[in-house]
Amino acid sequence: MATNDEKYERIAVVTGANKGIGFEIVRQLAAAGVTVMDVTDINSITLLVHFITAKFGRLDILVNNAGACGMEVDDEGLRALNIDEATWKSGKAASLVQGVMKTTYEKAEECFNTNYYGAKEVAETLLPVLKLSTTGARIVNISSLRGELWRIPNDQIRSKFTNIENLTEAEIHEILQKFLQDVKQETLIENGWPMMLPAYGISKTALNAYTRLLARKYPEMYINCVHPGYVDTDLAWHTGPMSPEDGAKAPVRLALSPEGGPTGCYFNQMKVASF
């Protein structure tokens, strides 16, 4: 999907763009005159860097959208519960879905590898070409309400993520590995992890923290994370009321943000919100 902007042809990479929000992000960016490439296999990202360097000489926009939920889910059983939007958003659904959703070590690890480590790897592999953007590259990490800090019951874990001035990537890794250990030992509740989509939520908390660290490290770029809304996608088991088209609007707005815009922020759709 590619069109040219007469003044400045912006070049973008979007992960997880084969359907849902990602597909709509690609469509809306292309409609705005952006040349867009999608990444379906992060193992091919190094080859993509070589291609971008040779063909365009830079990258202007990265949208990390690929996602995994971190649970084994009985889709039919979940839909039969007919849980409303407010119950999902509040987290009260956690007590209702115990029989149809289960956190396993394998699913939690897959979730972390996709939502955090995968997004981090894509960003860091593409940094050499993002640095070459003449207008300050935009990095948009797709996050979630589930990653908001107030949802973590454990004060110590929450305070580590809050202390962004002293937080390191190594500490984020340690927190995620502790979560996986607690999954294996079946001690998530006892150790104060959130119980509504626990792996997914913590992966997004980690991604939000990484977004802030990256923004501090590269002040010449515009690096933000965004909750796109409760969208009707496979990842939300088609329970969300928003269309993918509407869900793409906030990420696209950040991807196309003007110079001098915000960086190191978390957006709840169109508005800056608290981490």
- 200 noted as active-site residue: yes
Q: In 3D, which of 232, 40, 10, 52 has the Cα closest to residue 137?
A: 10
Look at phi and psi of residue 225 and say left if phi exceeds 0, alpha if psi is from -120 to 50, else beta. Answer: beta
Contacts of 55 (CB under 8 A, 6+ apart): none
Q: Which of 116, 200, 222, 230 does the annotation list as catalytic?
A: 200
Q: Collapse the DSSP code of 14 into the 3-class scheme (helix H, G, I; strand E, B; otherwise coil) and give the result.
A: strand
CA distances to 189, 212, 243, 262 from 236, in Å:
23, 26, 12, 28
Length of the chain: 275
Alpha helices (H) in 113-243, listed in sequence order? 119-130, 155-162, 169-185, 198-217
Backbone angles phi, psi at 25, to 5 degrees: -60, -45
d(CA 1, CA 94): 40
Provide the 8-state DSSP code for 25: H
Task: For tokens 């209702």, name the residue.
Answer: 96
Q: Point out the residues that are catalytic.
A: 200
